[in-house]
């Protein structure tokens, strides 16, 4: 499928919504649990989160669940345009945001890593985006 400017803009809005939420969580708690967003064709968002209060909660299970749900929604629900999820990640002992995005018109998942450092004044300094390997 061919991407249009509108598709690109919607995925950019999705990315910005995810990063905005991450920034709020980092400023409040210095970390965040994996979460996702589904974006409908009209540009509205629906939050996806997994409770860590379950005795069997692991980050790996949360990520698998979010990925499977978003993949299913984007692939099978006409009204869904795109989805993405984030998780806190370590790259060479440095904190980073792993950002995973998928749209109806993408060829699978796109993963990027955004290193970050929380300053003393609670502002967040970002490093250079690192492209990840495509997720299966």
CA 3, chain centre distance (Å): 20
Q: What's the mean per-residue pLDDT of the chain?
A: 91
**Average pLDDT estimate for 109-136:** 89
- Per-residue confidence (pLDDT) for residue 13, from 0 to 100: 96
- Per-residue confidence (pLDDT) for residue 3, from 0 to 100: 65
- Per-residue confidence (pLDDT) for residue 117, from 0 to 100: 94
Q: What is the pLDDT of residues 81-116, one digit of tens each?
A: 999 999 999 998 999 999 999 999 888 899 999 999
- Per-residue confidence (pLDDT) for residue 2, from 0 to 100: 62
The DSSP secondary-structure symbol of 33 reads -
- Per-residue confidence (pLDDT) for residue 136, from 0 to 100: 61
**Average pLDDT estimate for 21-29:** 93
In 3D, which of 104, 102, 106, 111 has the Cα closest to residue 132? 111
**Average pLDDT estimate for 38-50:** 94
Contact between 75 and 46 under an 8 Å Cβ cutoff? The reply is no
């Amino acid at each position: 499928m061919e991407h249009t400017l509108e598709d690109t803009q919607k995925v950019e809005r999705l990315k910005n919504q995810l990063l905005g939420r991450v920034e709020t969580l980092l400023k409040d708690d210095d970390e965040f649990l994996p979460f996702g967003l589904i974006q409908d064709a009209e540009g509205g968002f629906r939050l996806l989160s997994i409770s860590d209060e379950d005795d069997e909660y692991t980050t790996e299970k949360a990520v698998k669940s979010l990925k499977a749900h978003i993949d299913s929604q984007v692939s099978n629900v006409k009204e869904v345009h795109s989805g993405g999820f984030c998780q806190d990640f370590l790259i060479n002992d440095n904190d980073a945001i792993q950002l995973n995005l998928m749209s109806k018109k993408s060829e699978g998942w796109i993963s990027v890593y955004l290193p970050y450092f929380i300053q003393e004044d609670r502002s967040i300094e970002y490093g250079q985006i690192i492209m990840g390997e495509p997720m299966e």
